[in-house]
Structure 1
Amino acid sequence: MTGDFAGKAGWAGQAVADPSPAALLRRHWQSLRGDGGAPPQRERIVPRQLAPMLEHSLLVERAAGGAVLIRHAGLMVCAVHGLDLAGRPLSVLFEAGARLRMLEAVEAVLDGLQTVEMALHSERGMARPPLRARLTLLPLAGRTAADAAAIGCLDLEGPPVLPPRRFRIERVLGEPLAPRGDGRGAGASGAGPVLIWSRP
């Protein structure tokens, strides 16, 4: 995916020196990882430490019935839908045909198996320009498997004009985490991001 995902600062097309919100979030997530590179504990995430990317951030967790719920959504994430997204399923941000693939990717993150980055596209409509975005999701460990969550960031390549906007998935990249018990804990596999799926 081309283009700079720098949030509001990049909407006017001016040069943006600061890293994207997703890059800032990933750097913070890496700094909190435990021994052996295990995913950070959920309670170690402190909102004030996310200030530079808070408007673009979201926290998701499993719910009964296999749904993935949004527990926190920053202002720019909510602006895409036009409503407060806290307590709503993550699927509301996606077209119906993309929801199963989204759930498959998110489940792998919630299981602590990988990080995920999705390239997204919202179609042009009447008086509505096309909108591209990048959704990054990073695993968080809980006290139990049921407490596992993922912290994420939605980088937008423009303003979300005339919400609600819903996205199709153009590409899914995953970066595997090393399995527990291999002597390295649950750290990065070293393989780097791999293509999981791409629209034909």
Structure 2
Amino acid sequence: MFGTGGKDRGIVSMTDRERQKRLEPLQLVERYWRELAAERREVPLRSEIDPRRIENALEYAFLAERIAPGLAKLRVSGSHLNDLMGMETSGMPLSTLFSSAARETLSDAVTRVFTEGAMAQMRLSGEEGFGRDGLEGDLVLLPLRSDMGDMTRMIGALVTTGRIGRTPRRFDIKSVSVQLPDLAATSPETKAEPARTTAKTPTIPGFAEAATPFEGAPPSGGKKRPHLRLIVSND
């Protein structure tokens, strides 16, 4: 605590300040998601995510896909998640980052994200033991739709405070908040720029999924080739 004297007068909590700074990557991801949702007035598409818009949070961010009720698989994950587990986490279930006691609570939250389009926020506490000191964390989960329109994708971010120590580090859930966002509301910060689709947007290494090439129609100014040709033979 840092203050200027007097009972509770001019006191600034350094713990709160550090926590707010730690939460900045989560706030950036959530703010960007809200901007996209406000433009469309519905849950954004996975293909609309432009990693350049959350560049300062990519280390902590991830993309996941629904593989079963209440279960999501990490498709792309930032380096911080890899550091926490001591291995590459892409392709692993999100639940791998959690203790067995926390997985039912996580499953309930993931289910609501996918079925209701809800936002989930969690306060986390790392399991302690030999080589594993106290580790606090915060997690946000936000729904996304696939190109088919089904709500089977999500974007999220996980930040921690404390020394990672001996890996893998798994978390217990201290508290969870799940709420339905107002998709018609605009961002409280600034109006979003037009969303860029990943089909034409250069992606940032480490936060991109392999894309299927798209072949567009021929230029309108060019000569169109007929689909059928009439061949006449007098033989």
Choose between structure 1 and 2: higher strand proportion. 1
Q: Tell me which amino acid in the other structure corresponds to 1:68.
A: A
Q: Which residue of 2 aligns with 1:154?
A: 158
| Residue 28 (1) aligns with residue 32 (2) | yes
Q: Which residue of 2 aligns with 1:81?
A: 85
Q: Distance in 2 between matches of 1:123 and 1:137?
A: 21
Q: Which residue of 1 aligns with 2:138?
A: 134
Q: Distance in 2 between matches of 1:76 and 1:56?
A: 5
| Residue 40 (1) aligns with residue 55 (2) | no
Residue 29 of structure 1, CA deviation: 0.9
Give the conservation status (yes or no) of the 8 Å contact 1:109–1:137.
Answer: yes
Provide TM-score, normalisation by structure 1: 0.76
Larger radius of gyration: 2
Q: Distance in 1 between matches of 2:173 and 2:64?
A: 18
CA deviation vs aligned residue, 1:13-63 (integer Å, no higher than 9, x gap): xxxxxx610011111111111556311111000222221100000111111
Provide TM-score, normalisation by structure 2: 0.65
Partner-residue secondary structure (3-state), 1:102: helix
Aligned residues: 170
Partner-residue secondary structure (3-state), 1:27: helix
Alignment of 1:156-175 (within 5 A): 156-175=160-179
Give the conservation status (yes or no) of the 8 Å contact 1:141–1:148.
Answer: yes
Q: Distance in 2 between matches of 1:168 and 1:103?
A: 13
Q: Structure 2 stretches of 5 or more lacking a match? A: 1-14, 186-235
Greater shift, 29-38 or 131-140, is seen at 29-38
CA deviation vs aligned residue, 1:123-167 (integer Å, no higher than 9, x gap): 321232110100101111223365621100101112322110010
Identical pairs, percent: 31
Q: Distance in 2 between matches of 1:45 and 1:112?
A: 20
Q: For 1:144, which of 134, 143, 148 is the aligned residue?
A: 148
